[in-house]
Structure 1
């Protein structure tokens, strides 16, 4: 799944002219820190002092907030027509056990200033990528002949992942889903998990793989397999 990031900037108060946006820097992978830059612009003719509240939550695909990951308060001064950048970081330790199955994080900055406490809201949503799973076929796919698919997974984390489970399915390849318990995988270790198939229909078929463990959920991969008819 490719990284997704959406942006919203809106005025909470009618008189607000302050604007801003989040910029994602670096990679956005599960297991890595999430690094952003909050860019704030003051287009007015006077200087302003902003009180900025930055929060981050893990969210569902519906945007419902689930777990708070970050809550910070900062102050920044901007001259007329000045733009400043403010780094924002969410470490893996802050979100590793709090992500939802959607791998989504919402970051908000409420920027308030002046006697009337005028405010601008800047927010963004980020979807983190799971690690990759590779599928390799050992042998030639033929109808009614045993075939081995090899599932290759590397633990990208600096800590062990536990309770690794692989589920394989595919119409014409496997009559019923196959679930394989793979135990634990050490940091940076690569495991190769065999899945035994007996294709029962010829033609182009798709093998679907789903891998879960204590740190990743719904890591998916698929491979198109051309099954030759029985002779």
Structure 2
């Protein structure tokens, strides 16, 4: 098994391969474009004590994702509220964010915000909710999702309580894998994995585990150097397939701030 790596700066950076000289790299790295995704989970909770003859006009609540939620970046949400009544509504908001374990149980409180707003009749209100990476970093290393909740109380009507809930699954930063072709049984083949550190801090305890039935007889783990902010690691490794057919090459990247970053690619191994 042969292993080599290279570190690449993001802008005007450098590349290092073995004992080769440093080479300038110019041009920005493409970033993920933001997307707008409408929340379909948050719904108003009506006051059960109201009589059916004279129901209180409802407030309509919904969370919305402002951009794609990625680990290592601030999570940006909006709480949308519609006053579907001819009355001015004087409201108190409690906005909470919790880290959630993979089994659906709370792992810890990330942040709580309280605010007050007035909403004109038949008007909409938008409240931004931003969770800085520094606030969720430690809690979200072993966990996969955040639970956003909004409890809205109307002043002067303590029984008028409304709620919206939205669960956000944070995606890992992108990691890519590419295999040279063609692949043949008994012939050495190379693959390359590329990952960039997206956070402001240095990533430590970095390791890459590779595996695949018919490609590796056992899992192989590479220890990688610490990654400074906005620096890429490029890992090139070699293997000899020992079975033909459709095969899957699996990789698993772990470090101090990210866990179980998995990726795979399909390989056709010829006899």
TM superposition score normalised by structure 2:
0.78
Q: Matches of 2:174 and 2:89 in 1, distance apart?
A: 46
Q: Matches of 2:101 and 2:43 in 1, distance apart?
A: 21
Aligned: 1:177 with 2:219: yes
- Counterpart secondary structure, 1:97: helix
The correspondence of residues 134-173 of structure 1 with structure 2, limited to 5 A, is 134-138=176-180, 140-173=182-215
Deviation, structure 1 residue 134? 1.4
Aligned: 1:9 with 2:43: yes
User: How far does the alpha carbon of each residue in 1:30-79 deviate from its partner, in whole angstroms, 9 at most, with x for none?
Assistant: 11111111111122232221111000011123331112111111111122
Aligned: 1:106 with 2:140: no
For residue 24 of structure 1, what is the aligned residue in structure 2?
A: 65
Given that 1:6 and 1:125 are in contact with CA atoms closer than 8 Å, whether structure 2 keeps it comes out as: no
Change (3 A) 1:67 1:12: farther
- Counterpart secondary structure, 1:162: coil
For residue 215 of structure 1, what is the aligned residue in structure 2?
A: 257
Deviation, structure 1 residue 195? 2.8
Aligned: 1:72 with 2:113: yes
For residue 224 of structure 1, what is the aligned residue in structure 2?
A: 266
Task: State the number of aligned residues.
Answer: 227
For residue 98 of structure 2, what is the aligned residue in structure 1?
A: 57
For residue 204 of structure 1, what is the aligned residue in structure 2?
A: 246
Question: Higher mean Cα deviation, 79-88 or 166-175?
Answer: 79-88
Question: Higher mean Cα deviation, 22-31 or 47-56?
Answer: 22-31
Deviation, structure 1 residue 12? 5.7
- Counterpart secondary structure, 1:117: strand
For residue 9 of structure 2, what is the aligned residue in structure 1?
A: none
Question: Higher mean Cα deviation, 203-212 or 108-117?
Answer: 108-117
Greater strand share, structure number: 1
- Counterpart secondary structure, 1:151: strand
Question: Higher mean Cα deviation, 49-58 or 154-163?
Answer: 154-163
- Return 5+ residue gaps in structure 1 as ranges: none
Deviation, structure 1 residue 147? 2.1
The correspondence of residues 83-98 of structure 1 with structure 2, limited to 5 A, is 83-98=124-139
Deviation, structure 1 residue 228? 1.6
Deviation, structure 1 residue 174? 0.5
Given that 1:30 and 1:128 are in contact with CA atoms closer than 8 Å, whether structure 2 keeps it comes out as: yes
Given that 1:160 and 1:186 are in contact with CA atoms closer than 8 Å, whether structure 2 keeps it comes out as: yes
TM superposition score normalised by structure 1:
0.90
Given that 2:148 and 2:167 are in contact with CA atoms closer than 8 Å, whether structure 1 keeps it comes out as: yes
- Return 5+ residue gaps in structure 2 as ranges: 1-34, 51-55
For residue 43 of structure 1, what is the aligned residue in structure 2?
A: 84
- Structure 1: which 4+ aligned runs deviate by more than 3 Å? 3-6
Q: Matches of 1:66 and 1:6 in 2, distance apart?
A: 24
Q: Matches of 1:56 and 1:130 in 2, distance apart?
A: 19
Change (3 A) 1:132 1:115: closer
Root-mean-square deviation (Å): 2.0
